[in-house]
Amino acid sequence: MSTQSIAWAKTEVSRRPLVEKLHEWVTTVDHKRLGILYILYALLFLAFGGVEATIIRIQLIRPHNSFVSPQVFNRMFTMHGTTMIFFVAMPILFGFANYLIPLMIGARDMAFPRLNAFSFWMTAFGGFLLYFSFVGGDGLYGAGNAPDVGWFAYAPLTSQTFSRGHSTDFWILSLLVSGFGSIGTAINIIATILCMRCKGMTLGKMPLLAWLNLVMAGLVVLAVSPLTAAQLMLLVDRYLGGHFFDTQAGGSAVIWMHFFWIFGHPEVYVLVIPAFAFASEIIPVFSRKAIFGYPVMVAATICIGFIGMSVWAHHMFTVGMSSAANTFFVLSTMAIAVPTGIKIFNWLATMWGGQIDFKTPMLFCAAFLFQFLVAGLTGVMMSAAPFDWQLGNSYFVVAHFHYVILGGIFFTLFAAFYYWFPKMSGRMYNETLGKLHFWLFLIGFHLTFDFMHIPGILGMPRRIYTYEPGRGWDIWNLIVTVGVFFQAAGVLVFIGNLLWSYWRGKVAGSDPWDAWTLEWSTPSPPPTYNFATIPEVKSRRPLWDLKHPEDPDWQYE
């Protein structure tokens, strides 16, 4: 295999001017370049969101702190949440999906390359709009400059009366515009997976990453659209004087919550299902075993997709719903733990008896398994409405969802970075730096988010600007903030590793992990057209078949 990555690598002898190269990147419709653009763009916003998180935590490091003003604090948590969900997590996952799916299913590009570019630039424009609010948000009123309504922007806080100026408008427009981008990409992913697979790759032979991203894209289509609708209504209220969420004219503030969480909860699965996809590709390769229970994994994912659409109001137990609604959402929320549990058992069974190689990607996946389990357990705790009445809107909730998003999603994302970095750049990353990143981030993560549960149980509400001393919260907040610096150091090591390896890393070759999916059959980085000849597959692990003609997989599947 690796001997065949030849010819085109050396053809560009003369160096082209920088402007020409940049022009190529701006006008590209190549799924790999767009994937990388998505990822780089998201990393930029990761830095913004990280700085905002650090400001929040420094403010809370001790009681009666005044590191920032209350107004700035509100802007920071709003921008942190919005940035991390819409402009870090989603674009990174879309970037990986864009880059990997055509390579994994043996296609030369996505189904709609120009739609792909359009979607990326819409998302990019959305992020620009959000951050432009720092400059243009105060409008004519001298009002606050960045959105400060919280990332779920409950009514009536978002009405003209309470949000003067344009900060909330920037928030609405940026989510609306990036939502169009997300829907475009999701449509593209679905059409690509359904219509562009290479010969022999039936749905049952697709890599799990493709399957899981198919479900994710379906969720985006069905869940981001309601957010678009809700944002349109909010625009009607703010600009045209409508009354959708205007309680004085008979409108309802609660219906905004429903509309937002109809998007908001499936969004969690939009983010976590691609994370599952990374784990499902990486764990088998570093355990040297085929994935355990492939059909069950697919079925569990589809189950999660369906149930995930019907659990949204568990975000609203504290609002006060009818007991019938409470019961339904308690039960559906608990039910979703079942397919998720099945997945965890399948990953464990994949590792069981395997020759586990704890390279950096596998370390991150192992930590993911443990942390995602804990996150799921606190999730089941809070799915019980009475428990939620006690702890809703406390730091316990904040700890829980950061456990999901950081401990679950970001750990697998880092694993994915290290696993596919050789494919994307052609260079190996530095293993020592990778492990340093892992341990720094692991220690920081657990310092911050393990201990964040405790002030929550002790009654500390989320989003408060500061607190009184002597409530038993002080020491915990100090520990939580200390953890942030370990995480920041870890991320710096990570960025340094990427940069250093890109220029100085040793050449990776086409298949450094001895892996089994089609992307490893192309040179690293793959040529624009991916495959000179479109491959044909007979099993879920085509490269295994190729490397072991005496014992191919298709004899058993």
Residue 223 · residue 263 · CB < 8 Å = yes
Find how far residue 536's CA is from the centre of its chain. 32
Does position 164 bind other proteins by CB under 8 A? no
Backbone angles phi, psi at 427, to 5 degrees: -120, 150
d(CA 524, CA 481): 40
Name which position in 124, 210, 233, 442 contacts other proteins (CB under 8 A): 233
User: Which of 249/377 has CB closer to other proteins?
Assistant: 249
Q: Is 23 helix (H, G, I), strand (E, B) or coil?
A: helix
Q: Is 232 in the site for other proteins (CB under 8 A)?
A: yes
Residue 521 contacts other proteins per CB under 8 A: yes
Output the six-digit token pair for 552.
Answer: 């191919």
Q: Is 191 one of the binding residues for other proteins (CB under 8 A)? A: yes
In three-state secondary structure terms, 33 is helix
| Whole-angstrom Cα Rg for the chain | 24
Helices then strands, each counted (H, E), the chain? 18, 0
Q: Is 554 in the site for other proteins (CB under 8 A)?
A: yes
Instruction: Measure the CA–CA gap between 479 and 462, rounded to whole angstroms.
Output: 17
Residue 319 in the binding site for other proteins (CB under 8 A): no
Is 204 a binding residue for other proteins by CB under 8 A? The answer is no
In the complex, least distance from residue 64 CB atom to other proteins, rounded to whole angstroms? 44
Stretch that binds other proteins, among 16-24, 240-248, 290-298, 498-506 (CB under 8 A): 240-248
Is residue 153 close enough to count as binding other proteins by CB under 8 A?
A: no
- Beta-bridge partners for 185: none
Kindly tell me which of 88 and 111 has the beta carbon lying closer to other proteins. 111
- Express the helix, strand and coil content of the chain in percent, nearest 5 each: 70, 0, 30
Q: Which of 56, 215, 216, 518 binds other proteins (CB under 8 A)?
A: 518
Interface pick for other proteins out of 241, 320, 353, 469 (rule CB under 8 A): 241
Burial 328-350 (b: 16+ CB within 10 A, else e): bbbebbbebeebbebbbebbeeb
- Single-letter amino acid, residue 235: L
What does the block give as tokens for 18? 């920088």
Least Cβ distance, residue 325 to other proteins (angstroms): 14
Q: What is the identity of the amino acid at 207?
A: P
Residue linked to tokens 């001997």: 3
Host H or E run for residue 206 = none
Write the binding mask 253 to 282 for other proteins: x where contact by CB under 8 A, - elsewhere. Answer: --x---x--x--------------------
Which positions from 1 to 20 touch other proteins by CB under 8 A, shown as an x/- string?
x--xx---------------
Residue 146 or 515 with smaller CB distance to other proteins: 515
Asked if 195 touches other proteins (CB under 8 A), the answer is yes
Nearest to 103 by CA among 531, 548, 551: 531
State the minimum distance, in angstroms, from the CB of residue 310 to other proteins: 14
Applying CB under 8 A, the span of 9-17, 281-289, 293-301, 531-539 interacting with other proteins comes to 531-539
Binding piece for other proteins, criterion CB under 8 A, among 230-238, 362-370, 388-396, 408-416: 230-238
Instruction: Read off the tokens for 263.
Output: 């998007």
Stretch that binds other proteins, among 91-99, 226-234, 351-359, 397-405 (CB under 8 A): 226-234
Tokens of 327: 């019961």
* Contacts (CB under 8 A) with other proteins, residues 104-123: 106, 111-112, 115
* Of 12-20, 36-44, 67-75, 195-203: span binding other proteins (CB under 8 A): 195-203
Q: Residue 226, interface with other proteins (CB under 8 A)?
A: yes
The full length of the chain comes to: 557
How many CB atoms are closer than 10 A to CB 315?
21
Specify whether the CB–CB gap between 221 and 190 falls below 8 A: yes
Q: Give the separation between CA 187 and CA 41, rounded to whole angstroms.
A: 21
In the bound state with other proteins, the residue whose beta carbon lies nearer, of 240 and 324, is: 240
Which of 251, 274, 339, 376 touches other proteins by CB under 8 A? 251
Residues that bind other proteins (CB under 8 A): 1, 4-5, 106, 111-112, 115, 183, 186-188, 190-192, 194-197, 199-200, 221-226, 228-230, 232-233, 236-237, 240-244, 249-252, 255, 259, 262, 510, 518, 521-523, 531-538, 542-543, 545-546, 554
